[in-house]
């Protein structure tokens, strides 16, 4: 493509360059990521400005990435919440067995959830989400939990289902 042709056909020349760049990016995705990473590291304010000016596009891009990378999303969530790898997290779940120790439901029926002491941060074990939430909502207080049992028994109800 000559300079004279580009000058005489600016629209078509721009489109031709754009298509050539697109083909190059498609052939070299690793190189594109590398270049973008360097640019983002050198200009973090531009990235934040783009997110601020394009919230819907940013949200769509994030949702697309999360949909295409479920294992990375899971790893990031586990790392953020528990400061451990997915392998360590899965080790806790495997060690505890397949049933919630409180309600006895299978972890195939209900999602397993790491239970921890909110004061010390120490992991106590694995419960289903409902049982873990119940303990948390009752402030991890044994006296309150026993009062709840007594309250349910007052009406002739056996809280353990028996």
| Average pLDDT along the chain | 88
The torsion angle over the Cα atoms of residues 128, 130, 132 and 134, rounded to 10 degrees, is -160
DSSP conformation class of 9: -
Q: What is the pLDDT of residues 84-103, one digit of tens each?
A: 999 999 888 888 888 999 99
Q: What CATH number has the domain spanning 69-162?
A: 3.40.1800.10
- Residues spanned by CATH 3.40.1800.10 within the chain? 69-162
- Determine what percent of the chain is predicted with pLDDT higher than 70: 96
Confidence (pTM): 0.61
């Amino acid at each position: 493509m000559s300079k004279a042709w580009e000058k005489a056909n600016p629209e078509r020349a721009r489109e031709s360059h754009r298509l050539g760049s697109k083909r190059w990016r498609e052939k070299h995705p690793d190189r594109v990521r590398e270049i973008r990473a360097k640019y983002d590291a050198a200009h973090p304010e531009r990235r934040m400005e783009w997110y601020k000016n394009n919230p819907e596009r940013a949200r769509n891009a994030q949702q697309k990435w999360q949909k295409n990378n479920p294992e990375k999303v899971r790893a990031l969530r586990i790392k953020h919440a528990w400061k451990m790898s997915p392998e360590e997290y899965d080790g806790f779940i495997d060690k505890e067995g397949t049933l919630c120790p409180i309600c006895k439901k299978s972890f195939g029926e209900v999602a397993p959830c790491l239970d921890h002491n909110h004061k010390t941060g120490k992991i106590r074990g694995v419960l289903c989400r409902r049982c873990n939430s119940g303990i948390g909502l009752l402030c991890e207080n044994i006296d309150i939990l026993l009062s709840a049992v007594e309250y349910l028994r007052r009406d002739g109800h056996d809280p353990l289902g028996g």
